[in-house]
Amino acid sequence: MKVKTLKRTSNEIKIEVEGAGHSLCNLLQKRLLEDEHVDMAGYDVPHPLASSSIIHVRTKGKAKPEEALLKAAEKAREMNKEFSKELQKALKKT
């Protein structure tokens, strides 16, 4: 998976993520929108046959969009760990 910065300002960032589809982008978007410092978060898959997506984040005030993205990725990682533990418990019961 490759990440390329397409646009960066003090409160906005647009990145292209090669190999990411709706699953990852939607998860990041939802986590970003939970952040009170994020003004706008969205993504686009320019073409269904392309293997890259574009994620766009705009923050409020002095909040940095890079930090918001990293925080959202960490939240997603923690959710994955929690889900994995719960799944293992559930599968042991069956």
Q: Which domain holds residue 80?
A: 2-93
Tell me the pTM.
0.85
Q: What is the DSSP letter of 20?
A: -
How many domains is the chain built from? 1
pLDDT tens digits, 49-68? 878 999 999 999 999 999 99
Which pairs count as long-range contacts for 65-68, CB under 8 Å and 24+ apart, including other chains? 65/8, 65/11, 65/12, 65/13, 66/8, 66/13, 68/32, 68/35, 68/37, 68/38, 68/41
Check whether 86 has a pLDDT greater than 80.
yes
The enclosing domain of 61 has a CATH number of 3.30.1360.10
The C-alpha atoms of residue 71 and residue 57 are separated, in whole angstroms, by 12
pLDDT digits (tens, 9 = 90+) for 7-54: 999 999 999 999 888 889 999 999 999 999 999 999 999 887 878 999
